[in-house]
Amino acid sequence: MRLIFHGPPGVGKGTQAGRISIEQGLSHISSGDLLRAAVDAKTEVGLKAREYIENGLLVPDELIVNIVADKINSAECEKGFILDGFPRNLSQAKVLDSTLGKTGKKIDRVFSFIASEEVIITRIAGRRMCESCGAHYHELFSPPSKENVCDECQSKLFQRKDDYPETIKVRLKVYKEQTEKLIDYYNNKGILEEVDCNGDKAEIQQNIIAGLHSMSKEERDME
Ligand code: AMP
C-alpha cells in the first residue's frame, strides 16, 4: 500500500502517519523530518535548506526530491509507505509518479486532511519539542507534567522557529498557493479521499482506517 497524507501544516497528518504506519506495517516518510535531520547533521542539503525551513518557505525541489526518491526505492519501503509532507507542489507530484512508474508502481490513495484555519493555528502555536530527546508536547492537548520540562529526560522544551505565529501565516499562504492544488491533481486520478480533522486523534484515526478498509474492498471487487 502506497499512501499520501496531504494537507496544510498542523492539520495532524504527521501524528496520524506515525500511528497508521505502525498499525499497518508501512514505512513513514516525513519530508520535514528528513530535512530537519539534514539540518541537525549540517549536511550540504541541511545547510542550504535551513533558512527556507525557518522562514516557513518550501525548500527548492532539488534539495528534497532525490532524498525522498531514495527512501521510496529502499528496502524499508518494499511493503509500502505513507508519504507525509511530500509532494508539496505539482512538479514534486510528477517526479513522484515517474519515480514509482519506473518500477511499475503507483500511489494507491491520497488522504486529504481538512480542518478549519482556527483549529490549525491552535494546534501549531501550542506545539513544543524536547531539545534533547525530541519528544513532542502540546501546551493545551498534551502538556508536560512540569511546565517547559520534558517528562522523558527532564531537558528543556522549545518551540520550532517555523511554529512562531508570524511564520505559521507564511506556511499557510505557501500551502494555499502551491500545495492545495494537488487536491485537484489527485481527485482527477480518482484516488483522493477527504478526512475531516476537526475531531480528536482517535476519531480521525478511525476515519482513515475505515477509508483503508473500503479501499481494500474496492480492490477485491475489481479482481
Ligand atoms: P513539515 O514538517 O512537513 O511541515 O515541513 C517543515 C518544513 O520543511 C516546510 O515548511 C518546508 O520548509 C520544508 N519541507 C518539508 N517537506 C517539503 C517538501 N516536500 N518540499 C519543500 N519543502 C519541504
Question: What domain range is 136 assigned to?
Answer: 116-159
Extract the C-alpha cell encoding 9: 501544516
Q: Is 127 a catalytic residue?
A: yes
Respond yes or no: is residue 109 known to be catalytic: no
**CA-based nearest residue to 193, from 203, 181, 208, 175:** 208
Neighbours of 168 (CB within 10 A): 20
Q: Are residues 155 and 190 in the same domain?
A: no
Domain count, the chain: 2
**Does residue 144 belong to any structural domain of this protein?**
yes
Ligand 1 centre distance from Cα of residue 22 (Å):
22
Q: Which of 48, 71, 105, 127 is catalytic?
A: 127
End-to-end CA distance of the chain: 16
One domain, residues 132 and 42 = no
In a domain? residue 92: yes
18 and 91 housed in the same domain: yes
C-alpha cell at 42: 549540517
* 95 belongs to a structural domain: yes
Best CA proximity match to 81, nearest among 135, 134, 34, 120: 34
Is there a domain that residue 126 lies in?
A: yes
Same domain for 44 and 141, yes or no, is no
Query: Does residue 149 lie in a domain region?
Result: yes
**DSSP bridge partners of 65:** none
Catalytic annotation on 160?
yes
Ligand 1 centroid distance, CA of 222 (Å): 36
The 8-class DSSP code of residue 68 comes to H
Instruction: Let me know whether 216 and 138 are in one domain.
Output: no
DSSP code, position 142: B
Decide: 18 and 6 in contact? Cβ < 8 Å.
no
Q: What is the 144 CA–ligand 1 centroid distance (Å)?
A: 26
Do 201 and 144 share a structural domain? no
Shared domain check, 127 and 24: no
Residue 166 lies in a domain: no
Residues in Cβ contact with 35 at an 8 Å cutoff, skipping those fewer than 6 apart:
45, 46, 49, 53, 59, 63, 64, 67
89 and 189, same structural domain?
A: yes
List CB contacts of 119: < 8 A, sequence separation 6 or more. Answer: 197, 198
Specify the pairing of strand 27-30 against strand 109-114. Answer: unpaired
Shared domain for 146 and 38, answered yes or no, is no
Q: Do 145 and 73 have their domain in common?
A: no
Residue 115 makes CB contacts below 8 A (sequence gap 6+) with 7, 8, 11, 12, 123, 196, 197, 198
Q: Distance between CA atoms of 55 and 171, rounded to whole angstroms? A: 8
Q: pLDDT tens track of the chain, all 223 residues?
A: 999 999 999 898 999 999 999 999 999 999 999 999 999 999 999 999 999 999 999 999 999 999 999 999 999 999 999 999 999 999 999 999 999 999 999 999 999 999 998 989 999 999 999 999 989 999 998 999 999 999 999 999 999 988 998 999 999 999 999 999 999 999 999 999 999 988 888 999 999 999 898 876 666 566 5
CATH of the domain at 195: 3.40.50.300
Q: 78 and 149 in one domain?
A: no
Contact 58, 31 (CB under 8 A): no
162 lines ligand 1 (CB under 6 A): yes
- Whether residue 110 is found in the same domain as residue 193: yes
214 inside domain: yes
